[in-house]
A = this chain, B = another copy of it.
Amino acid sequence: MFDIRPKLTSRIELGGSDVVEQMFAAARDPELISFGAGVPAPDLLPVEAMSRATVRAFQTFGATMLNYDGSYGLQPLRHYIATQRLAGLNIQASADDICILSGSQQGLDLIARLFLNDGDSIIVEAPTYPGAINTFAPFHPRYITVGMDAEGMKMDELEAALRANPDTKFIYTVPDYQNPSGITMSLERRRKLVALARQYGVLIVEDSPYCELGFDNEKMPAIRSLDDNGLVIHLGSFSKILSPGVRIGWVCAQADIIKLFRRAKEAADFQSCTTTQYMLLQYLQDNDLDQLIKNNNRVYRERRDACVDALADSMPGNVRFTRPDGGFFCWLTVDGVNTSELLMRAIQTARIAYVPGESAFANGGDHNTIRLSFSQKEPHEIKDGIHRLAELLK
């Protein structure tokens, strides 16, 4: 066989692990309680309604649904996103400020492609979303990490980081029910973040697929809504509120940036799926997504409660954990334990799976953290799984 290695770009590192793929594989084992993948509960996905909407959409839109469309995405879908989803986060936007993407994951990729040269500095939270690290990696950024507390990114650390690295390309944050920590950035910190970004002339990437999954039905204003200077690139997605399988997310940003996204999108894959864009459009016309989200959040809230209660009941003294106000994730710190090394035993002996926190630290380091996703399991399974984890840790 032809040896491809000499042909590869320097952006590729061979080897490395396939953690996400492994998590998905583990989740398919019915014996195992997996707190791995951060995905919506299957029973909350609106199968019937989507099927009905599809039939109606094919009747209404016909062959248009199966053909190419443009790289910005469907205008009426962008209009819906602006007026129905972003308005609820205080963002004032029109369809023109939006480009449809294949999930917000693609937003991260296009941001890397548009902004990063080898060795550029970017500021990320510690911990941060591992999928972002994975996507940025081939562009070889230099990471500056900023610690978090219960209110999100620590602003004194951020300011020091900006002072020391005034050429930073952007600050990447997951402000709402963060993946992986479950932490939400406070309003005061959001304002401070915008002020600092403005002062230092640095872009903010606000990656917020979970922002509508608050358990108190309160929504924090988006960071983008607090800036009137075009500094914030806001990424959103239908993945967590409706369906990840349709692969429809979006970017909302200033006009210059949206134009660049359109071109990068055209080069990457022409456009997102026409078919699922029309399916969504029809679904959103015929159904009340706000109500669905509300109902789902009640379910996720019960699961969060089950998770946090079980953690409080059963964990040994060397374990601390967050209590998220929304989203899918609890974050554990297990003093003195290497959670990556523990994972094999967790799967084989305790029959549970989790994501070791290690992959969430851009510059490596912390080996004693765990991300638990409670979104997919019933409360009794969650309790059962947490108790098994507690036994293992004791």
**Residues of A in contact with B (beta carbons under 8 Å apart):** 1-2, 4, 7-12, 16, 18, 20-21, 24, 37, 39-40, 42-43, 45-48, 50-51, 54-55, 58-59, 62-71, 101-103, 105-106, 109, 113-117, 120, 131, 134-135, 137-139, 169-170, 201, 203, 229-231, 239, 243-247, 254, 256-257, 260, 262-263, 266-276, 279
If the complex has contacts A67-B243, A268-B106, A273-B245, are A114 and B254 also in contact, measured as CB distance less than 8 A? no
Q: Is there contact, CB below 8 Å, between B256 and A275?
A: no
Most buried by B among A67, A139, A201, A239: A67
Q: Is there contact, CB below 8 Å, between B246 and A273?
A: yes
What's the least CB distance linking A277 to chain B, in Å?
Answer: 9
Q: Is there contact, CB below 8 Å, between A274 and B254?
A: no
| Listed A/B pairs (20) with beta-carbon separation below 8 Å | A2-B203, A4-B254, A4-B256, A8-B114, A9-B120, A11-B117, A16-B263, A47-B62, A47-B65, A48-B58, A54-B58, A66-B243, A67-B244, A102-B273, A137-B267, A244-B274, A245-B273, A245-B274, A246-B273, A275-B276
Give Cα A109 to B270, complex, Å. 10
Other contacts beyond A39-B68, A42-B67: 8, CB < 8 A:
A9-B139, A11-B113, A12-B114, A21-B266, A246-B273, A247-B272, A247-B274, A273-B273
What's the least CB distance linking A317 to chain B, in Å?
Answer: 36
Q: A102 — which chain B residues lie within 8 A by C-beta?
A: 102, 247, 269, 272-273
Q: Is there contact, CB below 8 Å, between A138 and B245?
A: no
Q: A10 — which chain B residues lie within 8 A by C-beta?
A: 117
Give the nearest-CB partner of A19 in chain B: B266
Give Cα A50 to B166, complex, Å. 54
Q: A138 — which chain B residues lie within 8 A by C-beta?
A: 113, 267
Q: Is there contact, CB below 8 Å, between B50 and A51?
A: no
If the complex has contacts A113-B138, A201-B2, are A68 and B245 also in contact, measured as CB distance less than 8 A? yes
Q: A101 — which chain B residues lie within 8 A by C-beta?
A: 269
Q: Is there contact, CB below 8 Å, between B267 and A134?
A: yes
Give Cα A131 to B271, complex, Å. 13
Give the nearest-CB partner of A260 in chain B: B12
Q: Is there contact, CB below 8 Å, between B2 and A254?
A: yes
What's the least CB distance linking A73 to chain B, in Å?
Answer: 12
Most buried by B among A8, A229, A262: A8
Q: Is there contact, CB below 8 Å, between B54 and A66?
A: no
Q: A68 — which chain B residues lie within 8 A by C-beta?
A: 24, 37, 39, 239, 244-245
Q: Closest 7 A-B residue pairs measured CB to CB?
A: A245-B274, A51-B58, A66-B243, A42-B63, A106-B269, A45-B66, A1-B230
Q: A274 — which chain B residues lie within 8 A by C-beta?
A: 244-247
